[in-house]
Structure 1
Amino acid sequence: MAIKAVIFDIGNVLIEWQPERFYDAEIGETRRREMFAEIDLHDMNNDVDLGGNFRDTIYGAADKYPKWRDEIRMWHDRWFELATPAIDHSVHLLRALRTKGFPVFALTNFGDEIFSRAQKHYTFLQEFDQFYVSGEMKLVKPDPAIYAALETACGHTPDSLLFADDRIENLDAAVARGWQTHHFQHPQGWADRLVSEGVLTRDEATWPDNKKDKT
């Protein structure tokens, strides 16, 4: 089936999301490992992704673990240092698709409040044709219901959707519904897939800095 719409995850597809890397730099790898062993911070973040209040959820977790209170609060207070940098080549691909008038959607596990802030910080997050944000929908990947909701809203058949995500479990859930998928590991691989599907030409998919390297 020909691709009719392209769907981007955001974390580790358009923006690097590496909390462990942030904490390694702030408190050292040994203490970070100790903290993450004691506290499931990713599960805390899942509560935010499900629509929990951004500050209250994180500060509430911090209050439960006084030993790590200051460190946990960094997840809220310094969030943009956890979610950085933008993956420039992926942003280029998003914009190349939009330039061609190709429908591009976001399907992301993201708190609704912090997503609004992120759209101001990373303005390319305003550029999708449609947004499917877990915090607004009160559903998270890989729950089949979030995929079904996108299908209903977007008007395209499942087999005409091409979805890029960095997490295999999210892709498996999409495949189960008949979507076409791409396991995102590097933007060049995503660019190659878009070219192979005939969605972009090789020139359109090439990051400008790479073109400069060849001149």
Structure 2
Amino acid sequence: MAEYSQEQFESKLAEELHDAFDHDPSIEHTNTPLWREVIWPGEWMRLLTSGVFYGIGIPRGEQQPVMLVPGFMSGDITMLEMQRWLRRIGYDAYVSGIVWNTDCPDQTARHLTARLKSIHQKTGRKVSLVGHSLGGMLSKYIVQAEPTLIDRVITLGSPFASLVKAHPSVVGIWDKLKNARSGLIGRNLKASCATGYCTCGFVNSM
């Protein structure tokens, strides 16, 4: 085991905190240009030509219940294609009931927990959670609170550490939502949300 002096340890820690995800080549830099999002139609066409999309050559499910949780500023509509795909390959897939994921994560988690309990009661089986981005972080929080209801958690593009990195534009939108909260968007957000002053269960679970 390598031994470090206090000075070396602090230097190493500062280096890792500067870019904590640099070791993982699958994670793009947070300043990746947003214009690259325009290539999604091409990616969509590639998906439609994949045998996996049609359930060819992959294991079939046995009607296990799955709940899909969308990411920040997304809703169930963004998960509908995945829901249809999961149903094609033999899973009992449900959406979350989220129209637009812009509210206080702690409040959203309460809604998701109620939805989870409803699916569990309906099916009589443990439910798998599939969460995209913020949806994965919410799923991580929920499984800590309700482990007996959940079979497993699968995340897509979700940070799984206390240090969360996001594109500056996303951070800016989050701040705008806190300042412009209304009955339609961010209604339960507070100025302390996603800061060191926030002590909600969601933040404490990170």
Question: What is the TM-score normalised by the length of structure 1?
Answer: 0.34
Question: What is the TM-score normalised by the length of structure 2?
Answer: 0.35
**Which structure is higher in helix share?**
1
